[in-house]
Amino acid sequence: MAFPSLILNPATDEHLEGEGYKTGAATTFLWYLLAVLTVGISILLFYWKPVWCIRLLYTRCHVEVADIFILQDKYKQESVVKVVTKSVDSSLCSEYFYESSTDTKRTNAARDVINDISEDDDSDDRQALLSGDEDNVRGKVFRYIDHHSVRYIWNSKKRDYVRLHGLDVGVRCMSLHDKYTGVDDNTRKGLQLIYGVNEIDVEVKSYFILFIQEVLNPFYVFQIASIILWMSDNYYYYAATIMFISLLSIGVSLYETKKQSITLHEMVKTPREERTIFTQPDVRKTVTNYDLVPGDIIEVPVNGCMMLCDAVLLNGNCIVNEAMLTGESVPVTKTPLPHTRDEELFCPNEYKRHVLFCGTQVLQTRYYGNAKVKAVVVRTGFQTSKGELIRSIMFPKPMDFKFYQDAIRFILVLACVAVSGMCFTVYTMLAWQQPPGTVIKRVLDIVTIVVPPALPAALTVGMVYAQGRLKSAGIFCISPPRINLCGKLKLFCFDKTGTLTEDGLDLTGMVPFLGDGLHKVYDDARELPRGPFISAMATCHSLTRMDGVLSGDPLDLKMFEATGWTLDEPGEDTSRFDTLMPTVVRPPVGSEPPIEMFPGVKTEENVEMTTLSEVADVSGKTPYEIGIVKQFTFSSSLQRMSVITRTLGRSHMELYTKGAPEKITSLCLPESIPKDFNEVLKKYTMQGYRVIALACKPLHDLAWHHAQRITRDQVEKELTFTGLLIMQNSLKPETTPIIKELRVANIRTVMVTGDNILTAVSVARECGIISKSQRVIQVLAHPPTETQSARIEWLSHDTAESESEATDEELHFSRGSYQMMINAQKEDFCLTVDGKSFAVLMTYFMPLMPRICLKGAVFARMGPEQKAQLIEQLQSLGYGVGMCGDGANDCSALKAAHAGISLSEAEASVASPFTSKIPNIGCVPTLIREGRAALTTSFGCFKYMALYSLIQFVSVLLLYYGGTNLGDTQFLYIDLAITTTVAFLMGHTHAYHKLVPQRPSGALLSFAPMFTLFAQIILMATVQIIAYVYLHQQYWFTPNESTPGGDFATLTYESTVVFVVSSFLYITLAVNYSVGPPYRKRIWTNKPFFISAIVLWLLSLMLLFYPPEFVEKFLGMKHIDIKHYGFKIILLLFVVIHFLASTMIESFLVDSELFQRFSRCIRRKRRPNNKYKRVAMELVTSTWPPVGEVTYPIPE
């Protein structure tokens, strides 16, 4: 019978599909039966793969009656979660609480009755918890599942599990003001059952638990089985040594794991503090922060506090340090949530200027009169912004790296080789009439030889050393496996402000609108006439005074300081502004700006705004002061901020707005916009300046209490344009050389910024992201309208001095044809896209996205989620993508990239795989170099460990054939003195100092690595077999003394010769897999490895020609007299020939043109594997993009 699947978080990155299963007595019986029949092996398998246990032993059932679920995410990873059922007091009612009954039909009927309560319009899955009056005889229960610290609760009305949200989903803004006045004790009890404790907890497991989990790892289980086998075969020294090394490795691993857990636990732990809440508007109660639930009204202390939940500010102002989220220690002013339209839903990201986020520090509170600063709790625990951040660290996105996939496949290949070796061993053992116990031991021993337990550890050698070197360079990594991914990066995205350019802005000039155009540029704000322009500069900001020092956004600070005015916080001196206590700004005493009219557009409103002589007494009896009544804080989505002010002595208020020029002009009266606006804007943006537009508007008949409740969309319209601010954001000195270095290394660079598109293009040209020879084409996409479908305009950049008639975002691109694009793209070009166009492209033009992403160089006005979407689009083309940014708005992109580097020390940056203390992009080449070195080392070390096992495999099979074997100490010398030493030191070679265009191979099972691997296998097997045969031809050779049915002798000529010859082979391969440039430095720069290789080579020479007697005795070697030096010289010749042939295969054959042709012929590769290469080939013979034309969506 087919049962419906459980679908959670549909159409999101956290999409889950689940299968429900039910337990029973038969399940338990079968589990114990399998455990007995398999001698406990099934318990181990089910521990490693719990999904196997569920599918094998449990019964598939309907979601509603399931006791356990198998959940599969979008990455095809499966996990098992149990359904938790809790009893609930019968006095509580909720859509999640239903009557407990053993009869299914009665239960369903009861659910329909009990849950027939009015649902809040604000939410489907949170707000139905009410205090019940009826006395129910039956108890109540509710069910839920927890997955990755997210709770999904059974909703009996929907007959499905739903994700538990706080007040951040489906709640109207007006409801937060009007409906939530506090939570009574009865309701609180139910909410605490549903939401759990308000804490973000990272479990720190005990050493005992960690030890058990580590020992049960397949790697160590294999080690334990191998040690038991060796002990039973009398290899005591070897077994004891491996056991000691394993215990040491486990100890180090446990210490590091515990240390990391404690570090993360200390970073996120929630301290126990008391909070004052309101159960009713005037009824207070003290609770601990652990007891807070969504809907609580909390009082924010006057002296500030650490926020331990996400809460929306209802009244009063808060000065908050959000360095944890943004990395910027600049205090941010949080204002009360505005009273918006009834139907407008609350969204934390849209209203973040009104949200006190968990983990941020409230420095001060500001309020009027005796009113307290109140906030309503909207999210608790892991639902908070900080909780989501910690979840991203605890449950990172899985990596899809071909090298790791090939490594697993190769281990399976080795397992197949082991099977063939086992068959040969059985044949040989039977031929020597060995007892069954010995045959089993020898067969299992072959498995430990062919698939060495240390093989998986070889993958981490390069990463461990690279991580240490990165740490020394000031780059910290929380995801070591991503270091190898850095070796395959082909494209790097950069944020602009703070990453490519300096953090601060310099005010270069002020361009007020003087009626006849934007001609006059002021360098000194003190020369500006009194009017709306200087007033906007002095008031339109979010600055505050902390300990007597002005602080706030750097742009606001530069703008305000340029005016020379002073800012006074609320106090007794501002009581003249009615009952309001606003922030007041005023010019310096004696240096008030001259009283002049702005001769701009002569509208009635503009005259009122600029004729201040009527209200300001020149004699100074009425001082010139402006009070900031209300702030509409800056919104990146709206690209503007506004303030409502009142000038002392005036009868009405004024609105001042600043923001992106294209946005501000769209809100202004058309007649107030200067005719030369487009020309002037283009002039400055093409020079790389950041341009801010200012506008104003008188607000007649607006009383103070109306100003506090008015929404920004009611006032931010029909504005009067007042002028432009010209800001300069200079490049960091390291930017241009690093971009050049990356381009020389054939690593594509892309700018992804929230800034103006023209400014971004200018900076991209200046730093080299766009070369001077490239033609820039803007992809301007329009959403569909009632009369027209979605469309794309392809606008070619006009570098000539010509008058532009374009408006808004089209003002800087001409619509001329792109004639030089014909003839097979002889002229290179790049594309630029803004955020609005990107959204349209993602919705209506997905087939074009591969081409646009391939040629896109600048993506401007991009929001945080759009940045992440772009990264994913680039990854879908086959690019290895890196991202470098410095702000919280880059976090999503940093996590989505294969290698995200944060230049911020904010706590939010820990979600990024890499964090750099280097405050510029100089860390990028360092990371790529170390990634390439780590990948090359891991590649070489893995191949070395594979060949080491195969060399030993051939050695043992040869000796089994002759009825002998290597001795205990001989195995010990090979595995520890040689293999472990060189494998451990191979990764110590530092990264090469230069980035080269070619990237290291990341495919272990591709033709070239596999060809060389098999060539090395044939070569080393041939040398050992020839040496073995040559030994048997010597006149002094005597066969070993092993007899059929007896133990194999180890003190024989065969074991001695094979042992000595193979010792040279191990060292040779280690040297050949430690190649230097172009990804690592020369082998002799790795002094520990180089010295070890020389010492081991000399030791092997000593063992070959004249081993001391005590050494022969210790290693169990058969003495070969020195008079047989001719035989020994021939063996050395075999070894030298092997060294030369092996070196030629690794260093010369693979890179030769002949081999490349042979490789292409064998693979018959007709087209590239990577999609971006195929798209590039398509563009070579096309005339795309159709510049000057309009593209419409292709009907499906």
Tokens 């080393």 appear where? 1020
- C-alpha to C-alpha distance for 641 and 647, rounded to whole angstroms: 19
The tokens describing 779, both together, are: 């992809």
Is 184 considered catalytic here? no
d(CA 563, CA 561): 5
Q: Which residues pair with 491 in a beta bridge?
A: 748, 881
Burial class (CB in 10 A: 0-12, 13-18, 19+), 1148: exposed
What is the DSSP pairing of strand 98-99 with strand 160-163? unpaired
Radius of gyration of the chain (CA): 37
Residue environment code for 857-893, b if the CB has 16+ CB neighbours within 10 A, otherwise e: bbbbbbbbebbbbbbebbbebbbbbbbbbbbbbbbbb
The amino acid that residue 1043 corresponds to is T
Place of tokens 């322009």: 533
For the chain, give me the number of helices (H) and strands (E)? 40, 44
Cα 78 from Cα 80, distance rounded (Å): 7
Compute the distance between CA of residue 1165 and CA of residue 1161 in angstroms, rounded to an integer.
8
Q: Phi-psi bin for 487: left (phi > 0), alpha (psi -120 to 50), beta?
A: alpha
1180 burial type by CB count under 10 A (0-12 exposed, 13-18 middle, 19+ buried)? exposed
Cα 1185–Cα 1189–Cα 1194 angle in degrees, nearest 5: 75
Q: Is the backbone of residue 151 left (phi > 0), alpha (psi -120 to 50) or beta?
A: beta
Residue 259 tokens read as 């240390």
Structure-token pair, residue 407 = 């490594």
For residue 64, give both structure tokens.
């509603």
Q: What share of the chain is helix, strand, coil (3-state, %, to 5)?
A: 45, 20, 35
Angle, helices 402-431 vs 923-961, to 10°: value is: 10
Alpha helices in 286-401 (DSSP H): 323-326, 385-394
Assign 29 to helix, strand or coil. Answer: helix
Give the CA distances from residue 1089 to residues 490, 756, 765, 931, in Å, rounded to whole numbers and listed in that order.
31, 53, 46, 20
Which is it for strands 899-902 and 626-635: parallel, antiparallel or unpaired? unpaired
For the stretch 829-856, what's the b/e string if a residue is b when 16 or more beta carbons lie within 10 angstroms of its beta carbon? bbbbbbbbbbbbbeebbeebbbbbbbbb
Please tell me what DSSP assigns to residue 345.
Answer: B
Instruction: Give dist(CA 697, CA 712) in Å, integer.
Output: 13
The CA distances from residue 1099 to 85, 977, 1055, 1109, 1118, in Å, are: 68, 10, 18, 14, 17
Q: In this structure, what token pair is assigned to residue 242?
A: 């491996």
Q: Are 655 and 632 spatial neighbours (Cβ–Cβ below 8 Å)? A: no
Terminal-to-terminal C-alpha distance of the chain:
36
| Cα gap 1171→850, rounded to integer Å | 9
Among the listed residues 168, 310, 495, 968, the single catalytic one is 495
- Nearest CA to 1187 out of 822, 817, 824 is that of 817
Catalytic residues: 495
